[in-house]
Amino acid sequence: MEITLDNIWQFIDVFALILVRVTCVLILSPIFGRRNMPAMLKIGFGFMISVIILPMILPTMDINSIQRYNNILEFALLVLNEFLTGLILGFISYMLFTALYIAGEMIDTQIGFGMVNVLDPQSNIQVPIIANFLNIFAVLVFLLIDGHHMLISAIFYSYQVLPIGNVPIKNAVTTDIIKMFRDVFIIGFKIAAPIIAAIFVVDLILGILTKTMPQMNVFVVGLPFKIVIGLITIMLVLPIFINIMEAIINGMYMDLETIMRDMILNE
C-alpha cells in the first residue's frame, strides 16, 4: 500500500494505536529512552516508525475488528491495551541493562568505591562509578553491534505476533517477567565474578600478612591495594565484556520473542 496522507487520515484510529505502542517501547528502550534525548525527537521518531508500520500491517489485519467500538471509552480501552503492550516490551528491553548496575554495585563495594556515586543521565539517579562506566561502555557496544536495529526490528515483529487489540496480561507473561528478574541478578553476578574473585584473593593475602606482621596497618595498605587490583582486573576482562554484551543483547531479543509469543497463548 502506498504511503500517503490519505492513508493516515482514513485509518487515523489504527495509526494512533500503533503510535502508542511504538512510543512506549522507545521511551523505555536502552538508547532511545535516555532522559537527555529530547522528547520531541522521541515522539518524532515514533511517529516516523508508525507511518512506516501502518501500510505494512493494514493488508494483514482485520480493520473492522479494531474499528468496532461504539464510544470513546471502548477506544480508550484499546489505547490502554496498546500502552500496556508497549510498556512490557520496552521494560524487557531495558531490564537486562540493569544487570550492569547490579554488577557495578558489587564491584564498587568490593574495591572500595561503594560510598562514591555519580549521576546517571538516563535514569536521573545516583549510581556507582563502575556501574556508570559499564553502562556507558554497554551503550557503545549496543550501537556497535547494531542493537538499535534489532530493537526496531522487534517492534515490527511485534505486530506480526501481537495484533492490535491483543490482551498482554496473562499468567505466562507474569512468569516470564519473574524469570527475567532472576536472570538479571545472575547476569550481574557473572559480570562481577572475576573482580570479586580477584578481591577475594587480595583479602586472603592481607589476612595472611596481618597474621605474620601484626604491626602492619592493614586498613591503610589494603584499601589502595584493592583499588589497584580491582582496576587492573577490570581492564583485563574488558575485552571479554564485549562478548558478554553481545550475549545480553541477543538474550534481550530472545526474551522479547518469548514474551510476545506468550502474550498470544490461550489460558
DSSP code string of 202-259: HHHHHHHHHHH-TTS-HHHHHHHHHHHHHHHHHHHHHHHHHHHHHHHHHHHHHHHHHH
Please indicate, yes or no, whether the overall pTM of this predicted structure exceeds 0.85.
no
User: Per-residue pLDDT for 267 more than 50?
Assistant: no
What does the CA dihedral 187, 188, 191, 193 come to, rounded to 10 degrees?
Answer: -110
Residue 117 has pLDDT above 70, yes or no: no
pLDDT tens, position by position, 118-142: 666 555 666 677 877 887 888 888 8
pLDDT at 5: 58
Q: What is the pLDDT of residues 213-242, one digit of tens each?
A: 777 777 777 778 888 888 888 888 888 887
Whether the CB-CB separation of 180 and 259 falls below 8 Å is answered with no
**What value does the CA radius of gyration of the chain take, rounded to a whole number of Å?**
23
More confident residue, 66 or 189: 189
- pLDDT per position as a tens digit, 162-193: 777 666 666 677 777 788 888 888 888 888 88
Are the C-beta atoms of residues 255 and 162 closer than 8 Å to each other?
no
Range 43-72 average pLDDT:
74
Count other C-beta atoms under 10 Å from residue 5's C-beta: 8
Q: Please say whether the beta carbons of 18 and 78 come within 8 A.
A: no
For 82-96, write each residue's pLDDT tens digit: 888 888 888 887 877
Element spanning 147, H or E? helix 147-161
